[in-house]
Structure 1
Amino acid sequence: MVVSEEAAMVIKSYQDQAEQLLKEYALADPFRPYVSIVGGIFACKMVYDLTRLISSVHFKSYPNLSKFQRTEWNNRAMSTVHAVFITVMSLYLVFWSDLYSDDRLAGPVTLRNSPMSTFVLGASVGYFLADLGMIFWFYPDLGGLEYVVHHLLSLASIAYAMLTGEGQLYTYMVLISETTTPGINLRWYLDTAGMKRSRAYVVNGVVIFLSWLVARIILFIYLFYHVYLHYDQVRQMQRFGQFLVLVVPLVLSVMNLMCYSTP
C-alpha cells in the first residue's frame, strides 16, 4: 500500500510539472498560435486516419471505391469535423460570449481578442494548411482554382487575425459560413454510396439550399452592415487588416452568390 501511495505521489508530481511546462511554454502567449497550428494539423491527420480505419470496417461501399475516391472520402471527413468545430466556436464567440459585445467597454471590437479566440483560429489555420496541401498534391481532383483562391484568402485572413489579434470578430463571422460544409460533404457521400435517388438526398439538398442562403448570403449582408456601423473602429486597424476586412468578405460573397445561382 505504501508503494502504491508513493507511486501515486510521483505520478502526481510529474503531472503537475507537465501542466506547469504546458502553461509556461506551450500555451504561453508567444507560442500559443504555433502550438494551435501544429495541433490543428495533427488533428486533421488523426481524423483522416480514423476515417480510413472506421470506413473500411463499417461501410461496405468503401473498399469498392477507387483509390482516389477513398482519399476524397477521408478528406471530406476531415473538413466536416473542422466545419463542426469552427462553426460551434464561431457562433459562441460572435453571438453568445461578450468578447465582441458593443455593451462591453473594452476598446474597439476590431482589436479585441482572447487566448481562446486566438487558439481556435490557430487550429483552423492548421486545417486550411493541411487541406490546401492535399488540394495542391492532387490538383485539380480535390478542387480547382476556386478552392485554391478560397483557401488562400481564408488562410491570409485567419492567420492575420491570429497573429495580430485584429479583426477576429469579422474573421469568425466569415467562418460561420463553414456550417454549410457538412451538408455538402454528406451530399457527396450519398452520391458516392449510390443513394442519389433516396429521400435523404432530397432533404439534404433542401438543407444545403437554406443553410447556404442564411450562412453565406444573409450573414455576409449582416457582416457588411456591421462593418458600416463600426467603420471608425475598422480604421483603427493596420492597413493590411483593413484591406482583409473590406476585400476578403466581398470576394467570398461574390463566390458564394455564383455558387448559389449555379443549378
Structure 2
Amino acid sequence: MDANFGPQERILWPASVLAGIVICGAVYEMTRKVSSRCFKGYSRLSHMQKVEWNNRGFSTFHALVAAAISFYLVMVSDLFNEDVNNGIIIDRKSWLSDAMFGVSIGYFLTDLTMILWYFPSLGGKEYLLHHGLSMYAIGLALLSGKAHMYILMVLFTEVTTPFVNLRWYLDVAGQKTCNLYLYNGVALFVGWLVARIILFVYLFTHMYLHYDQARSIFTLGFYSLVAVPSTVSVMNVFWFWKILKGMVKTLSRRRKHSENGKTD
C-alpha cells in the first residue's frame, strides 16, 4: 500500500482528527448545559444516565454531519460521477472526504474511550466491534486514498443514529406512551431499512459491477473492502430484527390500549 501522505494530508489529517475530538467534547458540554436548563427531568437522572444523555448528544451531531457530507459527496457532487470525471471510481477522493474521515475517526475515538471507561454501561461488545471496524475501514481508506465512495456510503448509515438516540431520550424521560415515541419508532424502522439494509444491497451490487476496480486495490484493502461491510451488514440485519420486534410490540400495545378504551 502506498501511503497517501502529502503536504496537505500532513496538516489536514491530524487537524481533522483533533477537530473531531474537540467537537465531541464541546457538544457534550453544550448538551449538558442546555439539558440542565431546558429539561426539568435532567436533574432527576442518575449520574450514568446523564453521561449517556450527553454522550448521545455528540453522537447525534456527528451522525447528522457525517450523513449530510456523505450524501453530498456521493449523490450531489460530481466526484464519483462516471460521466464527468476521468479515472476509476475506486481512486477518487477529495479534501472534504479526507476531512470527514478524520473527524469521524476523532468521534469514534472519543466515543470508544467513553464506552471503555464506563463499560458496559454505554454499550456492550457489539459497540466495540462496530467502532473498531469503523475506525479500521476509515483509517485504511484515509491512508491509501482508495475506496472513499464505499466508505462514505457506509458512513451515511449514521443517518439512523438520531432516531435511535431520540428513542432512548424519550424512554428515559418516561415518554414511551406519547405519539412522538411511536412516530420516531416508525421513522427508525423505515430509515434503518433504507439506509442500513437496502443501501448495503446497492453497495455490494455496485462493488460487484465494478469488481475489476475493487480488485485493483492492494490485497489488504480489497479483502477489507469485502469483509468490513459484510460484517457491518450482518450486524445491521441483527439490529433491524430487534427494531422490528420492538415496533411490533409497541403497535400491539397501542392497539390493545385503544381497544380497551373503546370497550370502557
How is 1:151-170 mapped onto 2 (pairs within 5 angstroms)? 151-170=131-150
- Note the residue ranges of structure 1 that are not aligned, 5 or more in a row: 1-26
Superposed displacement of residue 195, structure 1: 0.4
- CA deviation vs aligned residue, 1:48-79 (integer Å, no higher than 9, x gap): 01111111111100011000000000000110
Mapped to 2, the partners of 1:153 and 1:227 lie a distance apart of: 19
The residue that corresponds to 2:116 in the other structure is 136
Q: Which amino acid aligns with 1:126?
A: G
Mapped to 2, the partners of 1:123 and 1:257 lie a distance apart of: 27
Count of matched residue positions in the alignment of Structure 1 and Structure 2: 237
Mapped to 2, the partners of 1:30 and 1:236 lie a distance apart of: 26
The residue that corresponds to 1:234 in the other structure is 214
Identify which of 157, 165, 190 aligns with 1:177: 157
The residue that corresponds to 1:4 in the other structure is none
The residue that corresponds to 1:256 in the other structure is 236
User: What is the TM-score with the length of structure 2 in the denominator?
Assistant: 0.88
How is 1:188-203 mapped onto 2 (pairs within 5 angstroms)? 188-203=168-183
- Note the residue ranges of structure 2 that are not aligned, 5 or more in a row: 1-6, 246-264
The residue that corresponds to 2:67 in the other structure is 87
Mapped to 2, the partners of 1:162 and 1:139 lie a distance apart of: 29
- Asked if the contact 2:17–2:103 (Cα under 8 Å) also holds between the matched residues in 1, the reply is yes
Identify which of 173, 195, 209 aligns with 1:215: 195
- Asked if the contact 1:33–1:163 (Cα under 8 Å) also holds between the matched residues in 2, the reply is no
Q: Which has the larger radius of gyration?
A: 1
How is 1:36-51 mapped onto 2 (pairs within 5 angstroms)? 36-51=16-31
- CA deviation vs aligned residue, 1:199-251 (integer Å, no higher than 9, x gap): 00000110000000000000000000000011101111111111221111111
Equivalent residue of 2:197, what SS? helix
- Asked if the contact 2:79–2:85 (Cα under 8 Å) also holds between the matched residues in 1, the reply is no
The residue that corresponds to 2:55 in the other structure is 75
Q: Which amino acid aligns with 1:253?
A: S
Q: Which amino acid aligns with 1:47?
A: V
- Asked if the contact 2:200–2:233 (Cα under 8 Å) also holds between the matched residues in 1, the reply is yes
Identify which of 47, 57, 65 aligns with 2:37: 57
Superposed displacement of residue 108, structure 1: 1.3
The residue that corresponds to 1:112 in the other structure is 92
Mapped to 1, the partners of 2:80 and 2:223 lie a distance apart of: 20
Q: Which amino acid aligns with 1:90?
A: S
Superposed displacement of residue 161, structure 1: 1.1
**Divergent runs of 4+, >4 A:** none
Superposed displacement of residue 29, structure 1: 2.8
